[in-house]
Structure formats: C-alpha cells, structure tokens
C-alpha cells in the first residue's frame, strides 16, 4: 500500500516503494493473512525509509519528498491485479531516518481489494519509532479447514471476508542492532459463509467463528545486523513477536486474554565467491488457548514457504526452514534457487515425516537500481501437490 525513502532521488524512492508494497497488498488466503499484510504495511515502509541502511547517510531535518507509483500484483493466492501507492517523506531531526505518511490500495481479479494508510515517525536519531496503521480489506479466498490432513485433502469453501484493521505501536532502540517495542491492534471481521457447504465439509465449525471483533497487544523484539535491507549479503535478522489476543470482544470488559501466539523468524545471510549470497531462514509459530480460526499459524505466509496457497495448511503449530542461493550472472541479470521444508501440526510433538511440506524452485532477477539494490524477480515454486509463479520486486526474505 505505501512506502519509500529519500530526498531528491525520486527514481530510487519509487523503486523502494515498489519493493515494499509488493509484499503488502492482497495476499488474503485467510483473514489473518490480510490483516498481517496490513500490519506489515508500516513495517515495510519503515524499511524503505531508512537511507542510513542503504547509503550510510542520514537525512537533514526539514527535507521532504512525495512519491507515487502503480504496482502490478501476481500471486497464487489472490491472482493478478494492480495496486497504487503514494507517500510523503520528511525528516524531523538530523540523523533520523525518513518519517512518512502514506496511502495506497489495490485490486485483484478474484474480487479481492484493499486500501490503507500508515504513518511512521522517527525521533532522536531513530531511537524512538511511532507507528499508526489503518486499513480495510475485502477478501475472497478459500478456507480448507484446520490441520495438515484438511490441507492435504484440498476440499475448501469460498469465503467473502471484510476486515477493518487499526494498529498502533512503537519501538525503542536499546543498542545499535536491538529494538524492543509493543503494538495494540483491533480487527473488525465480518464474513459471508456458504452455510450448506460449511455444514457438509466442516460440520464441527460454527459460522459465528468467522466473524468477530478481535483485539490484543503484541510484544516485539528485533535484532538486525544486515549490511543492506534490500541487497543483503551478510548479517542476521532475528525477530520475535508475542501476541496476547481476545477472540471476540463483544460486551466484555474483563481484559482477560483468550489466547497467546508466538512467532519467531531468524534469517542469516552469508557472502560467497563469484558475487553470490546464501540466505538461510527458519521460522516458527505456536498458538495456545482459544484462538480464532484466522489467527492460527498459516503455512505459506510471509514467503514461508513458496509454492503453497496461504492458509491451505493451518494449525496451532508451524515451522518452516529454507535456503536460497542468489547469484549475479551478467549485466543486470541474476538468478536464485531455493529449497525448503516445513509443516503444521496441533502441537510441536505432533509433526510427522509423512506430512512434511517441501518446496523447491528457482527464479530470475533483473536489477532495477544498483544504488539501492532493488531487483525485479519472477519465481517458480513447486510444493507437495501444487505449483506457483510469483512476481516480485525485492527478495522473498
């Protein structure tokens, strides 16, 4: 939906906006997937608005710039479509990264569409970050049920889901590579459920489980030593998020949390000879208590792993590991090859070898900006019983 960094380098700014936005707009295989993308909107914009991370220099106070651009969408979950973004970038104090206010929206050919607005403020040389994000998504997607067996069967019902999202949060830098913070979130979810199909395929589910007012608080931690946020060749990015949620607020005012969710992502980048890089990523998710269906762990979200429809495999526990080899070939052309494996289960002790979900694929890259290290890419991925083609600006992780 929106993003970008810098002063007068408008072309570089537009490329960066593209890089962030492509991963933000509709990927609604499930309600939570959409909400997650809306939440990530501001996060991705933050990444773009960091000149010090790209060229090693901060912005002077008072400098500003406006950027806008259309973005094509090609994704196996929501199909093909078009998005548009615009952002106003400015600096509040010398030494801080660019703050921004942005808006954007998009539509895909399966009838899904979304729009949103976000603001991120950087203060005191980036020591403090304040985020506000608002968004709406109307998603058309398939619901496959819960568990590895349900996903493997492939039987699904089509849902039409409307989600309003409000997210307010902030982070404090405790050390050069360490941020801690928190986030408050509220989702208003209304879903049209085909009752006959629901009763036939998923008789144990109540239609009321698909619509609710959901809120909670998240505790966040990041460790980031990457040399570049877009063309990363070395360093580590580790993040942990602990979510405490209320499944349905209703008339409740007891402030008791119904469920807890923990998400951990660790990515390691290693420079190799011949202008190549090896990226290793491990992700884990666990949910306890009484979570809503949309806030279970969703396999395939956030590029973990490619080749699967987001939400086809969902459960209380999930893991995904993958490795990607990236290499520059000639001129502005490069390639990637990736392999990974993961799975979902009711709990961490229930994973089985015969239900593991593999992923393998390759892709082509064309460098759009040598200065900012932004690539255009197209990937082909093969999953357990599915294939997918991805268009992207920027890397999967």
CA dist 23 and 84 (Å) reads 13
Stretches where the chain sits below pLDDT 70 are: 1-63, 230, 249-255, 369, 371-373
CA dist 228 and 226 (Å) reads 5
| Domain layout of the chain by residue ranges | 10-393
CA dist 154 and 156 (Å) reads 6
CA dist 285 and 317 (Å) reads 6
Token couple for 74: 């090609």
- What's the confidence (pLDDT) of residue 7? 37
- Give the model confidence (pLDDT) of 32-59 as tens digits: 444 444 444 434 444 444 443 333 344 4
- What's the confidence (pLDDT) of residue 180? 97
CA dist 122 and 120 (Å) reads 7
CA dist 268 and 323 (Å) reads 10
CA dist 30 and 198 (Å) reads 16
- What's the confidence (pLDDT) of residue 43? 41
In order, the DSSP letters of 68-136 are EEEEEEEETTTEEEEEEEEEEEE-SSTTSPPEEEEEEEEEETTS-EEEEEEEEEEETTTTEEEEEEEEE
SS3 label, residue 34: helix
Crossing angle of the two packed helices 10-22 and 31-48, in degrees rounded to 10: 160
What CATH topology corresponds to 10-393?
A: Porin (2.40.160)
Query: Could you tell me which of 257, 128, 240, 138 has the C-alpha nearest to residue 192?
Result: 138
CA dist 239 and 224 (Å) reads 8
Per the prediction, the chain carries an average pLDDT of 80
- What's the confidence (pLDDT) of residue 4? 40
Query: Could you tell me which of 19, 40, 26, 80 has the C-alpha nearest to residue 388?
Result: 80
Query: Could you tell me which of 1, 32, 296, 2 has the C-alpha nearest to residue 141?
Result: 32
How many Cα atoms are found within 13 Å in the side-chain-facing hemisphere of 87?
A: 38
In sequence order, which residues have a C-beta less than 8 Å from that of residue 38 and are 6 or more positions away? 1, 24, 114, 116, 133, 135, 137, 163, 165, 167
- What's the confidence (pLDDT) of residue 9? 40
For the chain, the straight-line distance linking the first and the last C-alpha, in angstroms and rounded, comes to 19
- What's the confidence (pLDDT) of residue 249? 66
């Amino acid at each position: 939906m929106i993003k970008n960094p810098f002063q007068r380098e408008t072309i570089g700014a537009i490329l960066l906006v593209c890089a962030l936005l492509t991963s933000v707009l509709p990927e609604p295989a499930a309600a939570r997937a959409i909400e997650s993308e809306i939440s990530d909107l501001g996060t991705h914009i933050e990444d773009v608005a960091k000149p010090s991370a790209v060229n090693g220099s901060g912005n002077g106070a008072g400098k500003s710039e406006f950027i806008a651009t259309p973005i094509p969408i090609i994704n196996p979950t929501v199909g093909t479509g078009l998005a548009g973004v615009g952002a106003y970038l400015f600096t509040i104090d010398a030494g801080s990264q660019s703050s921004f206010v942005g808006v954007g929206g998009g539509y895909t050919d399966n009838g899904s569409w979304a729009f949103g607005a976000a603001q991120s403020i950087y203060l005191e040389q980036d020591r403090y970050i304040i985020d506000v994000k608002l968004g709406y998504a109307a998603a058309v997607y398939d619901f496959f049920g819960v568990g590895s067996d349900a996903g493997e069967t492939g039987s699904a019902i089509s849902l039409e889901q409307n989600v309003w999202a409000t997210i307010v949060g902030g982070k404090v830098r405790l050390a050069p590579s360490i941020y801690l913070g928190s986030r408050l979130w509220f989702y208003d979810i209304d879903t049209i459920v085909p009752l006959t199909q629901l009763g036939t395929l998923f008789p144990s589910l109540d239609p009321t489980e698909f619509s609710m007012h959901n809120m909670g608080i998240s505790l966040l931690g990041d460790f980031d030593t990457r040399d570049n946020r877009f063309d990363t060749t070395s360093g580590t990015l580790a993040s942990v998020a602990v979510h405490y949620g209320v499944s349905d607020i209703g008339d409740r005012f007891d402030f008791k949390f119904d469920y807890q969710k923990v998400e951990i992502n660790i990515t390691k980048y290693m420079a190799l000879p011949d202008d190549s890089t090896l990226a290793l990523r491990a992700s884990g998710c666990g949910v306890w208590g009484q979570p809503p269906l949309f806030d279970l762990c969703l396999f395939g979200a956030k590029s973990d792993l490619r080749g699967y429809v987001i939400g086809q495999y969902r459960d209380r526990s999930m893991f995904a590991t993958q490795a990607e080899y990236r290499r520059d070939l000639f001129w502005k052309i490069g390639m990637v090859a990736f392999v990974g494996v993961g799975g979902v289960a009711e709990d961490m002790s229930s994973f089985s070898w015969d239900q593991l979900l593999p992923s393998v694929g390759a892709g082509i890259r064309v460098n759009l900006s040598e200065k900012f290290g932004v690539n255009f890419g197209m990937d082909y991925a093969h999953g357990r019983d599915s294939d997918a083609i991805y268009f992207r600006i920027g890397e999967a992780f």
